[in-house]
Structure 1
Amino acid sequence: MSVSCAGIGEVRAPLLQGLWECVRAGQEDILLSPYLPALYGFVIHLLLCAPFLVLDTLGRVCQRVRSWRITAGSGPPPPLRRWVGCFWKVLYQYLTTIVPATALFQRVRSPVMPELAPSCWQFFVEVFACLLLFDMLFFIWHICMHRFPWLYRNIHQLHHRHHIPFALAAQDSNSGELLSLLLLALSSAWVLGCHPLSEAFFHLINSWLAVEAHCGYDLPLALHRLLPCLGGAPYHQAHHTLLSVNYAPYFTHWDLLFGTFRAPVKRSQ
């Protein structure tokens, strides 16, 4: 018996409806706060970086962990003081620029909290569409920041201080660049008319992919090993090393199409 995709989505909707009702219960003022997107992004980024801080700590004493480090002279994992210094720089960017600017954007956007959760099918389509749209927008903006000298010197060059990136450095950028990327992510969900639950999950996946791309490890169960369409950390480390390749944040199709793809650096054994 055939069942349409929409039908499948509607059947499974109660799973998301229960989650959505739990999230909404007495929390609408918080969910509608203009400060929520920036605070959510900052906290999620820190939480997702935590496992890699553990790996970097273990990597200083464990050869097995060091064997997962990407080659090309990556050296030992970054010390704790580098993590702490990066944390304070990112926190300063958020407090001085990201939080007030995104709050203004949210007031213009005027988000609403619907009573119903998305169907499972709607949830999947919205999250995947956001990933595809943001991937394209980031690719265009990233190339512009490299191809126009003024943009590179004044906006993007700061991020490339990290020739060998680590997880927390995913957001260690000029405040203008960090703000532009967050606004691209928010705008992607806004343009597509995403349900808030879909948007929250998209931002979670977006943060994880950014952290994983900068982590400096080619882990055995990394997403790019499970999904060949993703670039992952080796792909992005090639960008930090060579500068003129691998501009897309997630997928490889735009770099393949425009001839800027470079095969990832293989990890050491």
Structure 2
Amino acid sequence: MEPEREFRVLQPIWDIIRDGREDFLGSPLFPVFISVTFYFVAVLPFMIIDLYGKEWHRVQKYKIQPNKEVTWPMVRQTIWVTFWNHVMYILPSSVAQWIWQPPIPLDPIAPPLWEYVWQISASFVIFDTYYGSIHAVFHKVRFLYRWLHAIHHEYHSPFSWVTQYLHPWELIIVGFGTTFIPWLFNAHCFTTYSFMLLNIIIAVESHIGFDFPWAAHHWFPFGIYGGAPKHDMHHYKPLTNFQPYFNTWDKLFGTYCPPMSAGGHKSAELLAFESKKRSERQKNFKNVFTVCGWLNLYVWKKLAPVRAA
């Protein structure tokens, strides 16, 4: 007689997902398949809004940069690069993984709810720090920006397909973090797959260019989560807001810029930030001008005896 299993809240959901699909879910190809498929499904509604909802005023009033229009050539370019990266880089690596890696063992018992929640939360915090640090380096080191990250900033007002409009190496860096960070906790398959899909949802939402009232950044406490407005501002002012999701490290290291909200509205905090940056630029210019003036005077004094002779 089978021993009675401890009741777990997630067990019915895991049973529905797993039963009869063990070989499919355990295949090394499954994480790639579900990630790519889910990404294309996630961006589709926002692509429809961008291309066919230009007159939907109830939706367009939430656009962060309302003067920036998304056109079909822009969407076509991002789709093409995304497909190219997946076919030329992701697919071959997935096939290699399928050949050399054994199937993933599936635990028939679902993870405890508390373990599921804290491991996903911790994975997001680690991923945010991991990619935020790399992202800052991309912007600070000029040749890395030029060769690896500049493609992502071709659009100063992002839209959904820009999410994975990346250099293939950056896409691999993002995929590595998404795949391997849950392994730090020896996470359950259900936890790992859930983190991967939630990460896609949040990444796409960060790039849609809309400040919807139901978005997560409106209900996170203490302004710790940035959402679409924060990342939209990063594309507008690329030397700010390096963290992909949260605001903690950006605020700590002085790279946080208050975002615009729906309709391009600038808060008092953002206006104060821009005023401060203007003053700093004017001060720096004045300092450079002063140094150049002193150097010019010094050179003229040195040349004066030569001219008199």
Which category describes the TM-score, using the shorter chain as reference length?
A: 0.7 to 0.9
1:230 aligns with 2:225: yes
TM-score after normalising by structure 1: 0.88
The letter for the 1-side match of 2:235 is H
The letter for the 2-side match of 1:261 is Y
Residue 10 of structure 2 aligns with which residue? 16
Residue 238 of structure 2 aligns with which residue? 243
Secondary structure of the structure 1 residue equivalent to 2:10: helix
Residue 89 of structure 1 aligns with which residue? 81
Gap regions ≥5 residues in structure 1: 1-9
The letter for the 2-side match of 1:49 is V
CA RMSD of aligned residues (A): 2.0
Tell me if the contact between 2:29 and 2:97 (Cα under 8 Å) persists in the aligned partners.
Answer: no
Residue 252 of structure 2 aligns with which residue? 257
CA distance, structure 2, for counterparts of residue 160 and residue 204 of structure 1? 24
1:65 CA drift (Å): 2.2
1:228-260 deviations in Å (ceiling 9; x for gaps): 321011100111111111011111111111111
The letter for the 1-side match of 2:193 is A
CA distance, structure 2, for counterparts of residue 109 and residue 171 of structure 1? 29
Q: Kindly name which structure, 1 or 2, has the bigger radius of gyration based on alpha carbons.
A: 2
TM-score after normalising by structure 2: 0.77
1:98 CA drift (Å): 1.6
Out of 189, 203, 211, the position equivalent to 2:182 is: 189
Calculate percent identity across the aligned residue pairs.
Answer: 29
Task: Identify which of structures 1 and 2 has the higher relative contact order when contacts are C-alpha pairs closer than 8 Å and 6+ apart.
Answer: 1
1:79 aligns with 2:55: no
1:40 aligns with 2:34: yes
Tell me if the contact between 2:233 and 2:259 (Cα under 8 Å) persists in the aligned partners.
Answer: yes
Aligned residues: 256
1:140-191 deviations in Å (ceiling 9; x for gaps): 1111111122211111111111211101110011111111101111111112
The letter for the 1-side match of 2:34 is Y
1:198 aligns with 2:198: no
Secondary structure of the structure 1 residue equivalent to 2:42: helix
Secondary structure of the structure 2 residue equivalent to 1:116: coil
1:105 CA drift (Å): 5.8
Secondary structure of the structure 2 residue equivalent to 1:46: helix
1:4-58 deviations in Å (ceiling 9; x for gaps): xxxxxx75x1x31122122222222222222222221111111111221232245
Moved more, 108-117 or 206-215: 108-117
1:194-249 deviations in Å (ceiling 9; x for gaps): 11111111111111111111001111111111213210111001111111110111
1:143 aligns with 2:148: no
Gap regions ≥5 residues in structure 2: 1-5, 266-309
Q: 1:192 to 1:234 in 2, by over 3 A?
A: same
The letter for the 2-side match of 1:138 is Y
Out of 134, 156, 161, the position equivalent to 1:168 is: 161
The letter for the 2-side match of 1:27 is R
CA distance, structure 2, for counterparts of residue 220 and residue 200 of structure 1? 28
